[in-house]
Each structure stands twice: as C-alpha cells, then as structure tokens.
Amino acid sequence: MREITKHLLEWYDLNAREMPWRVMPAERKAGVMPDPYAVWLSEVMLQQTTVAAVREYHRRFMALWPTIADLAAAEDADVMAAWAGLGYYARARNLLKCARAVVAEHGGAFPQTYDALLTLPGIGPYTAAAISAIAFDQPSTVLDGNVERVMARLYNDHTPLPAAKPVFMEYAQRHTSQTRPGDYAQAVMDLGATICTPKNPACGICPVRSDCAAQAAGTQLDLPKKTPKKPKPTRYGIAYIARRLDGAWLLETRPDKGLLGGMLGWPTTEWNDDPAGLEPFLADWDTLNEQAKHTFTHFHLFLTVQTAWLPMDAKPERGHFVSAEDFSPSSLPTVMRKAHALAAATLRVD
C-alpha cells in the first residue's frame, strides 16, 4: 500500500492530461505554480460537470474576466449569461460572491490554507482541499466521486456511499503525498477519470494494480456500493413565451432566491404537481402539443409551452422586452432554451 503514492505520481508524470488551468508536472517541478483564480474557477465549474464541458466555459470566463478583480467588478447579469448552460446556477451566484469576498476581504489574493478557503462563499470541503492542494501545494486530501471509487476498489470496501465517505477519506489521507500534494491530488482524480472508470476500469494498465484489493478479488465492477436513491418526483409548469410584432421577446429575470435564481427566462407558473394556469397577462395564448422536459437534481420538470404575439403597445405586468438583435438563446438556462426551441417555429418572423 505504501507504494501507491509513488506509483501514482510516476504514472501522472507521464500521463497527466493537459487542461487550460493545469500546470503540467515537469513545469511544476521547475517551480511554476498555477494561477489560483484559474484553479478555483475550474473547480467550481467542474462540480457536477465533465472536463470536456468545462473547457470552453473556462476559456470564455478567463477571456472576459482575466483576473479575480475583473470578475468581482462584473455585472451579475453578464456573469449569469456567461454561465448559462452549465447548470446548478447557485454556483454562479456563489462564484460572484466569492470573487467579491476575495477582493474585499483578502486584497484580491486567495487565502492558501484549507481552513481559510472554507470560509469563502461557495467553497465546501472538496473545493477547499482541491484549491489548497493544486494551487498552493498544501497537503490537503481531495475526495470527489472519482477518488471515492478508487479508494473503494483499492481497499475492496463494500460499505455503501454516502455512509462510507468518512472511511474513504481516511484511506485517501493515508496516500496523500506530503512532498507533491498538488500533483498527487490531480493524479488520483485523473486515475479515476481515465483508468479506474465506473463501468470499464482498465486494470491491465493501472499503475496501482499490484496494490488493488478489488482487482485481486475480482469485485471492481461492484464498487463503490451505493445506497439506492429515491426515485425523483415529477413537477409540472407552464412557460409563457410571447413576442411583440417587431420581433422582441418577452423575458424576465428570475428572483435571486430559488431554482435558476438570477437567470433570464420566460415567465412561468410555479412548478408543482398541478400548476394553476395563471397567465401573466391577457393575450391570445396558443398551447403547443409538445412539452419541454428537463431533469434537475431533485425532480423532473414537464413544462407546457404557451405562445402569443403581442401588439406594439403591449405593457405586460411581468418581464421586459429584449429586441430580436439582442436576444440569444445561449444566454438562457437549458430548460428555457428547450422551451424556446419548441416555440421558435410558431413565433417566427419571416
């Protein structure tokens, strides 16, 4: 078991994946350290999202706001629009809060320790460990889904998640490198993402194969065990998509609190078992046959879409008009984009 850290680091030296925010192991050995701002941004974006999906968003954010001071000074609406499509929008709101706290309370420089990072908005135990290890080479232990899977298999531990988390953390701590903690954190996460994958682990080329108890027992595909989740409920709602005769779309910014808080979207009813059809204003509404379907963390949503044309002098009580030239579906969260895609054919300007 003592060899695990050594073998992992040797493997990482040869196989580290290139990422825009990553300093490769050879450069790191030469003393180059990553930009903590870029590392933090990547870690917040990577929560619940894959590296492939994050690359382009990360590039765009770094181009728009190259430093944390730039991001802290940005307009909320611009940041929310740039985040649209990444999901879990509370992360974007916390991103801004955190940037502003780092500028206001830490002079624009991220604190370096796990404990200090944990006091910042939107930074939980995993992200604090990842930033302190990757950006500052502090010997913090990261435990994400990839690392949990690797630890369950190395120790052939069949305790189901999430109850097993503290034990898996203890295993992970045993192997955390004291000399190269930043590279080690990235190595173990890369191993989980590319070799020790959920369905098809490549044990034949795994650098820690000789220390893996699950591989020896042939149980790797059964691990990690998980306590079955309750099925997600389904909620229903109605989205009202209206267009003025000059082509302007009626949108509204959702309240800061709650799901999709602060994001741009169509006026909708509440989302529940049986939404009342409280149309936001009087218009000649058409109901589309197809619904926009979307799955959030805790529920499935079926959104009925109603469309209407509005006269030039319309003064709806909800929302604001956005001209056709200024409107871009890419600034909407995914569920609102789906609703727009359904309505677009009905509300076309030829």
Q: Please compute Rg for the chain using Cα positions.
A: 24
**Angle 72-76-82 (CA atoms, 0-180°, nearest 5)?**
95
State how far the Cα of 346 lies from the Cα of 284, in Å rounded to an integer.
Answer: 13
Catalytic residue among 10, 27, 43, 148: 43
Q: Which stretch binds ligand SF4 (CB under 6 A): 79-87, 106-114, 122-130, 150-158?
A: 150-158
State how far the Cα of 287 lies from the Cα of 81, in Å rounded to an integer.
Answer: 28
Judged by CB, which is closer to ligand SF4: 173, or 328?
173
Judged by CB, which is closer to ligand SF4: 196, or 339?
196
Q: Is 195 in the site for ligand SF4 (CB under 6 A)?
A: yes
Q: Is 186 in the site for ligand SF4 (CB under 6 A)?
A: no
Q: Is 7 in the site for ligand SF4 (CB under 6 A)?
A: no
CA 220 to chain centre: 27
With CB under 6 A as the contact rule, the residue among 7, 97, 209, 225 that binds ligand SF4 is: 209
* Count of beta carbons in the 10 Å neighbourhood of residue 240: 27
Closest among 160, 128, 165 to 44, alpha carbons compared: 128
Q: Per-residue contact track with ligand SF4, 102 to 141, x per CB under 6 A?
A: ----------------------------------------
Tell the residue number behind the tokens 């197809």, with chain if given: 290
- Map the footprint of ligand SF4 across residues 319-338, applying CB under 6 A: none
Q: Is 206 in the site for ligand SF4 (CB under 6 A)?
A: yes
With CB under 6 A as the contact rule, the residue among 39, 68, 82, 154 that binds ligand SF4 is: 154
With the CA atoms of 121, 125, 130 and 132 taken in that order, what torsion angle do they form, in degrees rounded to the nearest 10? Answer: 70
Q: Which stretch binds ligand SF4 (CB under 6 A): 43-51, 127-135, 199-207, 306-314?
A: 199-207
Least distance between ligand SF4 and beta carbon 204 (Å):
8
What are the C-alpha distances in Å from 238 to residues 123, 214, 288, 306? 34, 49, 11, 7
The DSSP secondary structure of 122-174, one letter per residue, reads: T--HHHHHHHHHHHH--------HHHHHHHHHHTT--PPBTTTHHHHHHHHHH
State how far the Cα of 47 lies from the Cα of 108, in Å rounded to an integer.
Answer: 23
Least distance between ligand SF4 and beta carbon 220 (Å):
4
Least distance between ligand SF4 and beta carbon 196 (Å):
3
Q: Which stretch binds ligand SF4 (CB under 6 A): 91-99, 201-209, 263-271, 291-299?
A: 201-209
Q: Is 203 in the site for ligand SF4 (CB under 6 A)?
A: yes
φ and ψ at 321, to 5 degrees?
-85, 140
Judged by CB, which is closer to ligand SF4: 90, or 193?
193
Q: Is 214 in the site for ligand SF4 (CB under 6 A)?
A: yes
State how far the Cα of 267 lies from the Cα of 293, in Å rounded to an integer.
Answer: 16
Judged by CB, which is closer to ligand SF4: 47, or 156?
156
State how far the Cα of 89 lies from the Cα of 238, in Å rounded to an integer.
Answer: 21
The total number of residues shown for the chain amounts to 350
Active site residue 252: no
Judged by CB, which is closer to ligand SF4: 177, or 304?
177
State the catalytic residues: 43
* Residue ranges in contact with ligand SF4 by CB under 6 A: 150, 153-154, 195-196, 201-203, 206, 208-209, 212, 214-215, 220
